[in-house]
Structure 1
Amino acid sequence: RKIDNETVYSYLEKLQKAYILHKCSRYDLQGKDILKTQEKFYLADVSLRYSVLGYTVDSIAASLENIVYLELKRRGYDVYIGKIKDKEIDFVATKQNEKIYVQVTQEIKSEKTQKREYEQLLEIRDNYPKYVVMADNFAGGNYEGIKTMNIVDFLLSKEY
């Protein structure tokens, strides 16, 4: 069955009004403007995903990203998906004069993954804090000024 884009957006809007979904717009870091397309939607309750789709190993990374989004919103940040050239930064969070950049990953097991997660943040030439958050229990440290943290430490942190 084919479905019209307007119908999809209508459903998404109703889910937002029912507080089931949160819309996260895309922010162009070069043009410093909010883009009108390619937004993402995050669940207001991560357990909804499991109740509908069940558990899969692939869903862990998406759930971590959803949890970080909700935590940033809870702390009062305006949250966007960052776009720099053809790359994506999971979150650009702003609150008054504060700004932080956050990449979320389940784990870093290869150099390819490490490059993907850190490279985008290294391209940003400002001095705002940058984080890579992951589920790895041994996550920690600093990679060229980017703080690497375990998801639990990030959620409990008072530094942002």
Structure 2
Amino acid sequence: MELRRRGYDVRVGKVGDKEVDFIARRGDAVSYYQVTYLIEAQQTAEREFGAFAGIRDNWPKYVLSMDEFPQTRDGIQGMNIIDWLLAGDVARP
């Protein structure tokens, strides 16, 4: 709902056998989001960051979680979801 409030058209995506939680489009801009409660286990990190593995474009990719110090890997930005909500539209290209 927050992405829609920010003016994005929001879809769920699938790349191979992996699901991307949200694909947000506004005009010609695209951003991708995975949302998880916490990334405590390596298995969770692999699942959330791995969902973007088949996406070969350069649009922003985010993993949002309640982690105080989120992980970032391979150009995919981890963010605390509360910080993301308070920051406004950080995904504006």
TM-score, with structure 1 as normaliser: 0.54
Higher helix share: 1
Map 1:23-62; keep pairs closer than 5 Å. Answer: none
Match of 2:33 among 74, 91, 102: 102
In the alignment, is residue 146 of structure 1 matched against residue 46 of structure 2? no
Q: Compute the RMSD of aligned alpha carbons.
A: 1.1
Out of 103, 109, 116, the position equivalent to 2:47 is: 116
Gaps of 5+ in 2: none
Residue of structure 2 in register with 1:71 after alignment: 2
Identical residues among aligned pairs (%): 47
Check the 8 A contact 2:84/2:90 in 1, yes or no: no
Q: Which runs of 5+ in 1 are unaligned?
A: 1-69
String of CA shifts for 1:84-131, please: whole Å, max 9, x gaps: 112100000000011000000000111111110011112210000000
Residue equivalent to 1:39: none
- Which amino acid counterpart does residue 81 of structure 2 have in structure 1? I
Cα distance in 2 for residues equivalent to 1:127 and 1:86 = 21
Aligned partners of 1:91, 1:130: CA distance in 2, in Å? Answer: 10
Look up the equivalent residue of 1:102 and give its one-letter code. Answer: Y
Query: Which amino acid in the other structure matches residue 74 of structure 1?
Result: R
- TM-score, scaled to structure 2: 0.90
Counterpart of 1:134 (choices 41, 54, 65) is: 65
